[in-house]
């Protein structure tokens, strides 16, 4: 199943003199979770707003293949924005039903589905509570329900896990996976790399409005997962980063992490350590998606 | 896509009609009005019997002596009718020269009627006695009219029927039943209430945008409806809310007004001129509401509004500050200029149409055209500001940014 739901072709968007998005192209397919990653200010939100028709690209195209006469078939798209918010003075069920109504979803069906989803998200009995009476996490769940109440074919989730406790994160992860399994095309923007690594089928990584990499998670790891070496309780004054094989060095507490350039095997580097350099522990590992992200964000890995 | 505007409007109507503050203000306002009406009727309750009882020898007719002097024949005829038809026994014939009465009126509280011939009589009343003047004048007028009718051969029964002496106050006017002024005032007052109410509810669109921005609902909503649909839905919704408020007020106030006063509101409310007034009110609302909804999108808190924004928020209240100028000098330069200035045109024209017997059709057409053009311009500008400003969070939009948003080409 690789049916493309939306094609973004060479879109550009500038704000006055600043290029927010520069010539980006991306496709999202049914049943797939595509992660859109990038540091703050990379252009993710602009990209998402262009997808939703909230912003119009300066050039390029956003083409939906959802069998609709509308350019942006809003009723078939679900959207959880990064900015969390709902009508604070309104009741949970009223807000969900209003959002469903705006998506032209049948009211009775929406009511039943809302009750089911509230149970699934542990919010049973809260349908008549006002949003302001809920905790931040609970309100976030209501907003998530609002985004999926109308059974969207394409779902955009902008930072769905931020501010959630680990248990709630798991609930969200399961729900997102279930939606993808049922054929929903999902575009996921998140900073929790471990979750992205586990959930996403492919990743679109951008930095300063430019594409850095767009590939499957496995291919990216293959391509970018250089080695790293962690030394515990070593001499932090030692000039590890003076070696040209080293990409960068991070010191955190008693741990010193040495990141190597591509194709550098750490053993050859470790052999070059002086005999008097002390350490208690030494670990050699591949870079995680998190490390790749950090490398790119710091402009070292692109 | 279908009816998204209506869906937004429906939501805003539902939210407000369930809002306790709105419900309280809707019912408290007419309650306050009725309270003052009631207090007014208690305080002013003595006036009405005085006026109607003068002819029956009430206390008021003893307060001031009334003399009749002048042409002997005419005075005689006047006196006959006064005694027989109006049962007014307190008129006293005065044989002396008029100049004497004139001197007395200058120093003491008297009134006198100087009848030179049956068609020409003058009523003089001491200055400090202004309140009974109307009553005396009414009676004197009636008696003179009756005298004149008698002279042209109208029988007493017919004269009584014509003059209907039992309600003297109502016969002051030269023709009709005395309620013609209601024909002008009631539709205009209704339009004024509608205008005021929908300006107030127009202000609620500002709060609605501001609250949605504060609640960070903008992106969620804009993922379902376009900015224009959202804005227009709000304007429509709050218009209905404003009209619902007016409807409640009318439903509560009209029966009381009909019972406790002589006003026949309903009869004078549904007239063609009401439609013209309503057109002005609706155009005024569209202008103000679209401005407010856009201004609301530029800030998260009214207290942090810039000076320019604050001034713009006050613009719709400008005509209310000038309303006395419109009333006192409806053809003055201020009133005329205000009729073509979009933010005051609605109120100025409503007042001027009431105050002037005739207002050139051209002036009405031009003022409506000015309003229509500015409503269109304002809605376009507001749409541009609204869709950009709603997405800007964390700071208020500066006037410079607002101007850039308006100038930005789609």
Q: What is the pLDDT of residues B89-99, one digit of tens each?
A: 467 778 888 88
What pLDDT sits at residue B346?
A: 86
What pLDDT sits at residue B409?
A: 60
Rounded (to 5) percent helix, strand, coil in chain A:
35, 30, 35
The label of the residue with tokens 């909804």 reads B293
Instruction: Name the band, by pLDDT with cuts 50, 70 and 90, for residue B317.
Output: confident
CA distance A245 to chain B (A): 44
**Least CB–CB distance from B219: residue in A56, A75, A81:** A81
What pLDDT sits at residue B228?
A: 84
The interface predicted TM-score (ipTM) is: 0.78
Taking contacts as CB-CB distances below 8 angstroms, the residues of chain B near A90 are 15
What pLDDT sits at residue B59?
A: 39
Has residue A78 got a pLDDT over 80? yes
Average pLDDT over residues A249-270: 88
Question: Per mean pLDDT, which of A166-175, B135-144, B191-200 is the most reliable?
Answer: A166-175
The answer to whether the CB atoms of B224 and A74 lie below 8 A apart is: yes
Has residue A204 got a pLDDT over 60? yes
**Choice among A13-17, B182-186, B327-331 with the minimum mean pLDDT:** B182-186
Interface test with A, best of B219, B390, B394 (most A CBs within 10 A): B219
What pLDDT sits at residue B182?
A: 60
Judged by phi (left if over 0) then psi (alpha if -120 to 50, else beta), residue A43 lies in left
Interface test with A, best of B14, B17, B223, B383 (most A CBs within 10 A): B223
The answer to whether the CB atoms of A99 and B224 lie below 8 A apart is: yes
What pLDDT sits at residue B176?
A: 43
Q: From B15, which residue of chain A is nearest by alpha-carbon distance? A: A90
Residue B143: how many other CB atoms lie within 10 Å: 27
Instruction: Name the band, by pLDDT with cuts 50, 70 and 90, for residue B262.
Output: low
Average pLDDT over residues B82-93: 57
> What do you get for the CA distance between the two ends of chain B, in Å?
21
CB pairs under 8 A between A and B: 64
Instruction: Name the band, by pLDDT with cuts 50, 70 and 90, for residue B298.
Output: confident
Taking contacts as CB-CB distances below 8 angstroms, the residues of chain A near B225 are 74, 102
What pLDDT sits at residue A186?
A: 96
| Cα A269 from Cα A246, distance rounded (Å) | 9
Taking contacts as CB-CB distances below 8 angstroms, the residues of chain B near A82 are 219
Has residue B344 got a pLDDT over 50? yes
The answer to whether the CB atoms of A75 and B223 lie below 8 A apart is: no
**Choice among A206-210, B111-115, B232-236 with the minimum mean pLDDT:** B111-115
What pLDDT sits at residue B53?
A: 34
- Choose between A257 and B112: higher pLDDT: A257
The CATH number fitting domain A226-286, selected from 3.30.70, 1.20.120, 3.40.720, 3.10.310: 3.30.70
Roughly what angle, to the nearest 10 degrees, separates helices B361-389 and B227-260?
A: 130
Tell me the backbone φ, ψ of residue B288, rounded to 5 degrees: -70, -45
- What residues of B are in the A interface, CB distance below 8 Å? 1-2, 4, 7-8, 11, 15, 211-212, 215-226, 387, 391, 393, 410
Q: From A80, which residue of chain B is nearest by alpha-carbon distance? A: B220
Q: Which CATH architecture has domain A4-221?
A: 3-Layer(aba) Sandwich (3.40)
Burial class (CB in 10 A: 0-12, 13-18, 19+), B210: buried
Q: From B228, which residue of chain A is nearest by alpha-carbon distance? A: A54
- Choose between B135 and A53: higher pLDDT: A53
CA distance A49 to chain B (A): 8
Average pLDDT over residues A185-204: 89
Average pLDDT over residues B73-81: 71
What pLDDT sits at residue A232?
A: 93
The label of the residue with tokens 């929406």 reads A110
What pLDDT sits at residue B41?
A: 60
Taking contacts as CB-CB distances below 8 angstroms, the residues of chain A near B215 are 85-88
Write the pLDDT tens digit of every residue in A19-41: 889 999 999 999 999 999 888 88
Mean pLDDT rounded to a whole number for chain A:
88
Q: From A144, which residue of chain B is nearest by alpha-carbon distance? A: B220
What pLDDT sits at residue B19?
A: 81
Among residues B259, B277, B318, the alpha carbon closest in space to that of B186 is found at B277
Instruction: Name the band, by pLDDT with cuts 50, 70 and 90, for residue A105.
Output: very high
Instruction: Name the band, by pLDDT with cuts 50, 70 and 90, for residue B263.
Output: low
Percentage of chain B lying above the pLDDT 90 cut: 4
- What residues of A are in the B interface, CB distance below 8 Å? 49, 52-54, 56, 70, 74-75, 77, 79, 81-88, 90, 98-99, 101-104, 143, 146-147
Instruction: Name the band, by pLDDT with cuts 50, 70 and 90, for residue B51.
Output: very low
Instruction: Name the band, by pLDDT with cuts 50, 70 and 90, for residue B173.
Output: very low
Average pLDDT over residues A211-238: 85
| Cα B330 from Cα B349, distance rounded (Å) | 9
What pLDDT sits at residue B183?
A: 62
Average pLDDT over residues B281-297: 85
Average pLDDT over residues B271-293: 85
What pLDDT sits at residue A117?
A: 94
Has residue B8 got a pLDDT over 70? yes
Taking contacts as CB-CB distances below 8 angstroms, the residues of chain B near A49 are 219, 391
Write the pLDDT tens digit of every residue in A159-186: 898 888 888 899 999 999 999 999 999 9
The answer to whether the CB atoms of A74 and B223 lie below 8 A apart is: yes
Domains of chain A by residue range: 4-221, 226-286
The answer to whether the CB atoms of A54 and B7 lie below 8 A apart is: no
Q: From B7, which residue of chain A is nearest by alpha-carbon distance? A: A102
**Least CB–CB distance from A81: residue in B220, B225, B410:** B220
The answer to whether the CB atoms of A146 and B216 lie below 8 A apart is: no
Interface test with B, best of A84, A98, A106, A132 (most B CBs within 10 A): A98
Has residue B21 got a pLDDT over 70? yes
What pLDDT sits at residue A150?
A: 94
CA distance A197 to chain B (A): 27
Distances (CA, A) of B346 to A133, B236, B241, B276, B288: 44, 19, 20, 10, 11
Distances (CA, A) of B257 to A33, B167, B178, B264, B287: 68, 20, 17, 8, 32
**Least CB–CB distance from A84: residue in B216, B221, B387:** B216
Write the pLDDT tens digit of every residue in B363-406: 899 999 999 999 988 888 888 888 777 777 666 677 777 777 77
Mean pLDDT rounded to a whole number for chain B:
74
| Cα B148 from Cα B154, distance rounded (Å) | 9
Using only the alpha carbons of chain A, give its radius of gyration.
Answer: 22
Q: What is the largest CA-CA distance in chain A?
A: 75
The answer to whether the CB atoms of A101 and B7 lie below 8 A apart is: yes
Interface test with B, best of A89, A97, A102 (most B CBs within 10 A): A102
Write the pLDDT tens digit of every residue in A150-161: 999 999 999 898
Taking contacts as CB-CB distances below 8 angstroms, the residues of chain B near A147 are 220
Percentage of chain A lying above the pLDDT 90 cut: 45
Taking contacts as CB-CB distances below 8 angstroms, the residues of chain A near B8 are 102
Average pLDDT over residues A274-280: 89
What pLDDT sits at residue A26?
A: 92
Taking contacts as CB-CB distances below 8 angstroms, the residues of chain B near A103 are 224
């Amino acid at each position: 199943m690789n049916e493309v739901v939306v094609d973004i072709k060479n879109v550009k968007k500038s704000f006055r003199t600043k290029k927010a998005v520069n010539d980006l192209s991306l496709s999202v397919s049914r049943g797939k979770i595509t992660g859109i990653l990038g540091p703050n200010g990379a252009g993710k939100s602009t990209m998402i707003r262009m997808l939703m028709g909230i912003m119009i690209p300066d050039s390029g195209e956003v083409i939906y293949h959802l069998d609709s006469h509308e350019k942006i078939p809003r009723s078939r798209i679900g959207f959880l924005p990064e900015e969390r918010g709902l009508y604070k003075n309104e009741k949970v069920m009223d807000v969900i039903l209003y959002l469903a109504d705006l998506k032209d979803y049948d009211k009775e069906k929406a009511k039943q589905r809302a009750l089911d989803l509230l149970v699934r998200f542990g919010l049973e009995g809260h349908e008549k509570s006002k949003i302001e009476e809920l905790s931040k996490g609970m309100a976030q769940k209501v907003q998530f329900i609002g985004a999926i109440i109308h059974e969207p074919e394409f779902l955009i989730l902008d930072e769905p896990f931020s501010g959630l406790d680990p248990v709630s994160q798991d609930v969200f992860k399961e729900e997102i996976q279930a939606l993808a399994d049922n054929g929903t095309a999902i575009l996921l923007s998140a900073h929790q790399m471990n979750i992205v690594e586990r959930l996403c089928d492919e990743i679109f990584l951008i930095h300063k409005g430019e594409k850095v990499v767009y590939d499957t998670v496995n291919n990216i790891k293959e391509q970018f997962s250089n080695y790293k070496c962690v030394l515990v309780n070593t001499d932090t004054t030692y000039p590890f980063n003076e070696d040209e094989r080293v990409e960068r060095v991070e010191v955190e507490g008693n741990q010193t992490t040495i990141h190597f350039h591509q194709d550098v095997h750490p053993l050859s580097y470790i052999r070059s350590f002086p005999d008097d350099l002390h350490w208690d522990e030494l670990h050699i590992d591949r870079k995680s998606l998190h490390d790749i992200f950090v490398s790119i964000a710091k402009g070292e890995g692109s | 896509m279908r009816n998204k505007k209506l869906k937004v409007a429906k939501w805003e109507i539902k939210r407000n009609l369930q809002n306790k503050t709105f419900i309280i203000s809707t019912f408290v306002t007419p309650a306050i009005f009725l309270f003052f009406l009631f207090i007014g009727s208690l305080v002013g309750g003595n006036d009405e019997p005085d006026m109607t009882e003068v002819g029956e020898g009430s206390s008021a007719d003893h307060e001031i002596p009334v003399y009749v002097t002048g042409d002997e024949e005419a005075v005689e005829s006047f006196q006959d009718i006064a005694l027989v038809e109006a049962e007014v026994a307190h008129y006293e014939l005065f044989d002396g020269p008029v100049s004497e009465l004139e001197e007395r009126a200058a120093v003491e509280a008297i009134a006198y009627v100087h009848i030179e011939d049956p068609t020409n009589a003058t009523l003089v009343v001491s200055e400090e006695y202004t309140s009974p003047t109307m009553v005396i004048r009414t009676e004197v007028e009636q008696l003179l009219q009756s005298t004149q009718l008698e002279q042209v051969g109208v029988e007493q029964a017919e004269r009584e029927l014509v003059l209907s002496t039992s309600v003297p106050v109502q016969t002051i006017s030269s023709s009709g039943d005395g309620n013609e002024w209601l024909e002008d005032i009631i539709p205009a007052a209704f339009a004024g209430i509608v205008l005021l109410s929908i300006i107030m509810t127009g202000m609620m669109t500002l709060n609605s945008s501001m609250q949605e921005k504060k609640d960070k609902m903008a992106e969620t909503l804009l993922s379902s409806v376009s900015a224009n649909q959202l804005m227009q839905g709000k304007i429509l919704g709050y218009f209905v809310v404003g009209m619902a408020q007016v409807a409640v007020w009318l439903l509560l106030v009209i029966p009381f007004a009909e019972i406790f006063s002589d006003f026949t509101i309903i009869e004078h409310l549904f007239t063609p001129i009401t439609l013209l007034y309503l057109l002005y009110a609706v155009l005024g609302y569209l202008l103000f509401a679209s401005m407010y909804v856009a201004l609301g999108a530029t800030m998260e808190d009214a207290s942090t509004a810039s000076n320019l924004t604050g001034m713009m928020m006050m613009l719709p209240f400008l005509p209310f500050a000038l309303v006395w100028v419109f009333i006192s000098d409806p053809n003055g330069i201020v009133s005329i200029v205000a009729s073509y200035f979009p933010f005051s045109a609605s109120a100025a024209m409503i007042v001027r149409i009431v105050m002037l017997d005739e207002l050139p059709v051209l002036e009405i057409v031009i003022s409506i055209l000015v309003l229509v053009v500015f409503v269109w311009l304002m809605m376009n500008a507001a749409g541009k500001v609204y869709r950009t400003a709603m997405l800007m969070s964390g700071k208020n939009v500066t006037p410079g940014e607002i101007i850039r948003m308006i100038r930005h080409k789609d």
